[in-house]
A and B are shown apart, each in its own frame.
Chain A
Amino acid sequence: MTDKSHDPNQMTGAAMIVRALIDHGVQHLFGYPGGAVLPIYDEIFQQSEVEHILVRHEQGAGHAAEGYARSTGKPGVVLVTSGPGATNMVTPLTDALMDSIPLVCITGQVPTHLIGNDAFQECDTVGITRPCTKHNWLVRDVNDLAKVLHEAFYVATTGRPGPVVVDVPKDVQFATGTYHPPRKSDVHVSYTPRVKGDATQIRKAVALLAGAKRPVIYSGGGVINSGREASKLLRELVEVTGFPITSTLMGLGAYPATGKNWLGMLGMHGTYESNMAMHDCDVMLCVGARFDDRITGRTDAFSPGSKKIHIDIDPSSINKNIHVDVPIIGDCGNVLGDLLQVFKAEAKKPDIKAWWQEIAVWRARNSLAYRKNSEVILPQYAIERLFEATRGHDTYITTEVGQHQMWAAQFFGFEEPHRWMTSGGLGTMGYGLPAALGVQVAHPDSLVIDIAGDASVQMTMQEMSTAVQFELPIKIFILNNQYMGMVRQWQQLLHGNRLSHSYSEALPDFVKLADAFGCVGLQAIKPGDLDGALKEMISVKRPVLFDCRVAALENCFPMIPSGKAHNEMLLPAEATDEATAAAFAGGKALV
């Protein structure tokens, strides 16, 4: 018999976890210790290859890992304990599932013999996280652990990316077994995501594109997920075809905001020209987006006259909300590459001058216009100044959720992919601050700014302490209007201006709060204060809380009123009280 104690692949479950992280190239791990993960934390203590970032709440770890993943293209990794550690991860896991972010979350579990016993800090983690993960595993035998961990990384990062959970009981962490490095047989043979698009479908798509008179390209987060090459190919396609391009919230940056074919973001708060182009087009090319309800408005009036081509790696995204004519299942980058090749070989740039002239008319409506004000800072102005101040810097933007998020999407120009981290699908208030931490961990020398609202930022405020501990100089730029702005806007537009519980009474003094956390507090009250304070925020190499006092009752326009079609947008210039009331017909009259 061989002496197993000398076999380097014999190790405890806890050691296997750290070893697997190293084998998968993980450099940073976000987590929070607790009883059921102590053996793993003991292993982390005794090595230096994986750096652990200690958060203040497990939700923070999850969003930080999301920011890390979204800004690098690598999976974000989280380690939390059983019970409350796992349940606190439910929000970031769901967020990551909705936005297709690769996360590998390792949770501790009570020892196997106590499972089902209502043991201390026990919960049914795999049961609870089943609907909010791409897949999850409970590992009952240490000899299955290596295989499951490798499969977890594979599933999270391939196909349509998403979050996975590996639940490891404490006795499995202590037990000794055999580790093996990643190998192909670790993965379910039933899991075979399709990467390459069908050639016949691609030819059909090219024929449609080549014959288009009023085409539009509508790209989404899938292009970003597919990697930098996909964004390059998308830009080339726009160049080769001369088509106008718009993008979802999640897809910003795949095509540059300064690009001449850029129409701006589409959807509920998108630009007039992009929504009108979507409505009136004859050929729509959807790349890595999913016809979400914030994009389509009323589905029965969505782009009624167009032939639709849809490129998506997830077959279940096809024909889910909107029937498409030419579905192409495959990875965006891969399909775009093939499509470009066929287009260049067999098609010519169609003449769409007349279409561009129509678009120019829509564009002239200047749907993002707002009234200038010298007395109070308008939130749109604040974002514009922030954008100006960051020019020339290597900037990453995260956001919370609400009006500020939409203004950031409208007024901050993104030139590159992976620079814009926002909670699109789930709409998680409190996402931006911890996400900024994750981005800063991945890009220590870059300028990382969370464009925040006063309400959202308080949901995960405790993570400022993490920023201070790990010397992560994130900038929290709070558009402080003392309201849950988007809630208040909807209450005004849809509920007779009865502002039920949307006013933030007793807001903290953010400058003093910054001081208490040991970071820098800044404030701007008048438009004249803004540029100087922004300059200071950017130059200081410490975490900053910036309290930017903005007009309290500003609404986010343009807007597609609920239940309306793309061509029924409400523009800011026309948003008088009467027009707004009429546009929201069915809602209560406005005061």
Chain B
Amino acid sequence: MNQPASAYFLEERHDPTESHTLSVLVQNEPGVLARVIGLFSGRGYNIESLTVSETESQKHLSRITIVTTGTPMVIEQIKHQLDRMVPVYRVVDMTLTGRSIERELAMVKVRGGGDNRVEALRLADAFRARVIDATTESFVFEITGNSAKVSQFIDLMRPIGLVEVSRTGVAAIGRGPEGM
């Protein structure tokens, strides 16, 4: 019960956290991304991954995919806070609907020679990664998949001679015939 002298209730609750993927349909207008990101930083929410692009240029619509973590109560808050923003059309919790596909693309640069080169190509083949650039001492692989698969591929490349990685972040879409 004891807490330091303060006019605020300081004890934090440590409920278990969950990871959720949110799809947010927004009006593509100046500052809209800053609004969304500002909400997360201002209210202390986490962003694990963020992907944004215009998806319907005629209607000036953009789709933001956010992977976030928090307690169930915080995740609910995040959705409501996003939903009440003026330029936000819809917020869908892809994790909650349970019927979504998530994909991420990464470009992975690997440097090395001899056996390492052969090993890199063999692993790439197993992961269905494509070679999109090659020199006598390096490759750039393009790999697509869910985040875990992409991470696993990167981890395997590390001892072989991983130079750098560029990841797009997660994009998600619901299964079946309906749109969000």
Contact = CB atoms under 8 A, between A and B. Distances in A.
Given A130-B35, A300-B13, A293 B84 contact: no
B5 A587 contact: yes
Interface of A: 126-127, 130-131, 134-135, 138, 155, 159-160, 188-191, 293, 296-300, 314-316, 318-320, 323, 490, 493-495, 562-563, 584-588
Given A191-B86, A494-B5, A563-B1, 6 more contacts: A130-B38, A155-B86, A315-B84, A319-B76, A494-B6, A562-B9
Given A127-B34, A131-B38, A190 B4 contact: no
B13 A563 contact: no
A146 B8 CA distance: 45
B5 A584 contact: yes
B74 to A, nearest CB: 10
Contacts of A587: 4-5
B87 A190 contact: yes
A285 to B, nearest CB: 21
A190 B88 contact: yes
A12 to B, nearest CB: 23
A588 B5 contact: yes
A131 B86 contact: no
B73 interface: yes
B122 interface: no
Contacts of B42: 131
A190 B28 CA distance: 12
Contacts of A316: 77, 80-81, 83-84
B9 A586 contact: no
B7 interface: yes
A322 to B, nearest CB: 10
Given A130-B31, A316-B80, A316-B81, A293 B9 contact: yes
Interface in B117-148: none
A414 to B, nearest CB: 25
Contacts of B86: 134-135, 155, 188, 190-191
Interface of B: 1-11, 13, 26-27, 30-31, 34-35, 38, 42, 73, 76-77, 80-81, 83-89
Contacts of A300: 11, 13
Contacts of B3: 562-563, 586
Nearest to A164: B86
Nearest to B72: A319
B8 A562 contact: yes
A563 B9 contact: yes
A565 to B, nearest CB: 10
A189 to B, nearest CB: 8
A375 to B, nearest CB: 31
Contact of A298 (B9, B27, B87): B9
A162 to B, nearest CB: 10
Contact of B2 (A134, A490, A585): A585
Given A314-B84, A316-B80, A293 B8 contact: yes
Contact of A586 (B5, B7, B76, B83): B5
B89 A190 contact: yes
Contacts of A588: 5
Contacts of A155: 86
22 contacts: A130-B34, A130-B35, A131-B42, A134-B86, A135-B85, A159-B84, A190-B86, A191-B86, A299-B9, A300-B13, A314-B84, A315-B84, A316-B83, A318-B80, A319-B77, A494-B7, A562-B8, A563-B1, A563-B3, A563-B6, A586-B2, A588-B5
Nearest to A587: B5
B14 to A, nearest CB: 12
A562 B80 contact: no
B99 to A, nearest CB: 23
A140 to B, nearest CB: 8
A261 B7 CA distance: 30
Contacts of A127: 31, 34
